[in-house]
Amino acid sequence: ATASNGRDAIRLMAEVRPEVAIVDVGMPDVDGFDVARAVRADGTLADITLVALTGYAAESDKSRALAAGFDYHLTKPLSLEKLQYILANRTEGKLGGLV
């Protein structure tokens, strides 16, 4: 399932309840940081693993993503190897280790 903006992403996650959501930080309307904060504020969505996808790769960008509620921070272009690692190393609904 996909959404083209932040508001729709929040609504979609509430409806679909995915195990993992890859969220582009630079979405229009509501950015990915606000999406992560909204998801984390909703206790019924707490088990969704959030992966930030962004072109910003500085340590401060990673820290900001984790502080907003993302579990992981991936940079563009998306590395399929890193994504596969994340998905393959899930334990009890959560991911183990930073990528």
Give me the residue spans of the domains in the chain. 6-90
Q: Which amino acid, 87?
A: L
- Region 4-25: mean pLDDT is 95
- Region 4-28: mean pLDDT is 94
CA nearest to 31, candidates 57, 58, 2, 65: 65
CATH assignment, 6-90: 3.40.50.2300
- Region 55-77: mean pLDDT is 90
pLDDT score at 94:
55
Measured between alpha carbons, how far is 69 from 46 in angstroms, rounded to an integer?
A: 10
Dump pLDDT digits (tens) for 74-95. Answer: 999 999 999 998 888 866 555 5
Cβ neighbour number for residue 30 with a 10 Å cutoff: 16
